[in-house]
């Protein structure tokens, strides 16, 4: 009998421990070697997720975990309205694959490393179209277009056809240290950006 693939193992772990109807969920390691939790496959989680040594050790046979690695080719993705991924209380965090979510917090007492090819992002995972403190607005079409692009740390763009009175929404938050979600634009699938916070002790 052949062994299941790493991706299948991750999928099964997710079905058991990650789906709770949008409530806070914990994460399972695909494998643990020398105190390191490895995520090798792809996890798409609905709702919030918390990854910490205590969470990963709960109910497991492992005695200690101080490092978490998202391997090259692997993906940890949180989807849903402004969902959160918290990776905390580790000594080291390595992201060689993809870490993707609306609200990402990564904390490590020693090192956080994202080598070439690794990605941590919240692109297009902030407020949806037309929502947020600096949301864009307008009537969008090929002709007689009047819209205001979304603002955040700075003002959004303006396209005015047959109108000289449109101004962008007021900016909000900090341009140099933003902590808010990005607002949605006026037209199309124009969601704002998410927020990513990374703190390392060294």
Q: 134-153: per-residue pLDDT in tens?
A: 888 776 665 555 667 788 87
pTM, full prediction: 0.74
Helix (H, G, I), strand (E, B) or coil at 106: strand
Averaged pLDDT for residues 103-107: 92
Please report which helix (H) or strand (E) contains residue 194, including its range. none
Averaged pLDDT for residues 34-63: 75
Give dist(CA 19, CA 30) in Å, integer.
17
Site of tokens 């200690």: 64
**What pLDDT shows up at residue 170?**
81
113 beta partners: 94
Site of tokens 């009998």: 1
Q: 164-198: per-residue pLDDT in tens?
A: 566 777 888 887 888 888 888 877 778 888 889 99
Give dist(CA 63, CA 81) in Å, integer.
35
Residues in the chain: 202
Q: Confidence band (pLDDT; 50, 70, 90) for 126? A: confident
Higher pLDDT, 116 or 143: 116
Contacts with 122 (C-beta within 8 Å, 6 or more apart), sequence order = 100, 101, 102, 103, 104, 193, 194, 195, 196
Higher pLDDT, 27 or 104: 104
């Amino acid at each position: 009998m052949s062994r299941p693939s790493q991706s299948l193992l991750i999928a099964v772990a997710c079905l058991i421990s990650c789906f709770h109807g949008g409530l806070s969920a914990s994460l399972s390691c695909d494998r643990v070697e020398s105190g390191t939790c490895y995520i090798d496959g792809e996890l798409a989680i609905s709702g919030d997720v918390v990854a910490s040594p205590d969470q990963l050790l709960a109910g497991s046979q492992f005695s200690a975990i101080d490092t978490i690695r998202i391997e090259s080719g692997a993906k940890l993705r949180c989807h849903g309205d402004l969902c959160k991924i918290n990776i905390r209380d580790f000594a080291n965090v390595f992201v060689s694959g993809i870490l993707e979510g609306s609200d990402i917090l990564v904390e490590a007492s020693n090192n956080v490393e994202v080598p070439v090819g690794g990605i941590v992002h919240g692109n297009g995972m902030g407020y949806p179209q037309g929502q947020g403190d600096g949301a864009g607005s307008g009537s969008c079409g090929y002709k007689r277009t009047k819209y205001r692009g979304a603002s955040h740390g700075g003002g959004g763009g303006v396209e005015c056809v047959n109108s000289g009175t449109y101004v962008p929404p007021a900016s909000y938050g900090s341009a140099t240290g933003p902590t808010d979600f990005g607002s949605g634009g006026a037209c199309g699938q124009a969601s704002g950006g998410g927020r990513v916070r990374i703190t390392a002790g060294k």
